[in-house]
């Protein structure tokens, strides 16, 4: 299989390091990247190249120890990892300018585990306390008028022109008078 199956910003470290046999754990990493974006308001790893991408992951999540990922040094591109990046800084990065639930951070850490063999599985992620207790992320998202329209597939025909001034078309331009 190819290791270029996922958009670069969401590609897991094992693929960037040259693994060509993988499973659902690559999708959990990608979901973790998206979840991290929802929590932080910005992309976690936005590299322009594969080397830059692994460097950004390495810098934020640290260099994997032998205990964390025993065979990482045997991967084809392991030489791109930098041992000077010590420790996981994900919590500080996510919480630098906002409050985030501890359960959300725990789930994120498990989704973005460097070692794919230790990454949380989908069934365990869905059973995580973040989804079963506490406040839901969707309750903190801004609500826009019309959102219900998309969810229910209904249109509110009676209100379509309510925001326009008399004599204006939908674009806010004055309507031509017809005789």
What is the three-state SS of the chain?
Answer: CCCCCCCHHHCCHHHHCCCCCCCCHHHHHHHHHHHHHHHHCCCCCCCCCHHHHHHHHHHHHCCCCCCCCCCHHHCCCHHHCCCCCCCCCHHHHHCCCCCCCHHHHHHHHHHCCCCHHHCCCHHHHHCCHHHHCCCCHHHCCCCCCCHHHHHHCCCCHHHCCCCCCCCECCCCCECCCCC
- In order of their start, the domains of the chain are 8-139 (1.10.510.10)
pLDDT at residue 149, rounded to an integer: 41
Give per-residue pLDDT as tens, 26-52. Answer: 999 999 999 999 999 899 999 999 999
pLDDT digits (tens, 9 = 90+) for 114-157: 999 999 999 999 999 998 886 555 555 554 544 444 444 443 34
pLDDT given for residue 132 in this prediction: 85
* pLDDT of res. 51: 94
């Amino acid at each position: 299989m190819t290791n270029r199956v996922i958009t670069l910003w969401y590609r897991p470290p094992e693929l960037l390091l040259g693994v060509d046999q993988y499973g659902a754990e690559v999708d959990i990493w990608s979901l973790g990247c998206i979840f991290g974006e929802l929590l932080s308001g910005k992309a976690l790893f936005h590299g322009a190249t594969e080397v830059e991408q692994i460097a950004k992951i390495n810098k934020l999540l640290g260099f994997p120890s032998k205990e964390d990922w025993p065979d990482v040094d045997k991967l084809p591109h392991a030489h791109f990892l930098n041992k000077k990046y010590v420790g996981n800084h994900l919590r500080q990065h996510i919480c630098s300018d906002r409050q985030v639930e501890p359960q959300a951070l725990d789930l994120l850490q498990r989704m973005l585990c460097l070692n794919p063999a230790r990454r949380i599985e989908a069934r365990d992620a869905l059973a995580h306390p973040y989804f079963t207790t506490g406040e839901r992320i969707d309750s903190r998202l801004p609500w826009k008028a019309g959102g219900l329209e998309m969810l229910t597939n209904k249109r509110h025909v009676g209100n379509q022109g309510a925001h326009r001034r008399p004599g204006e078309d939908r674009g806010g331009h004055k309507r031509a008078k017809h005789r």
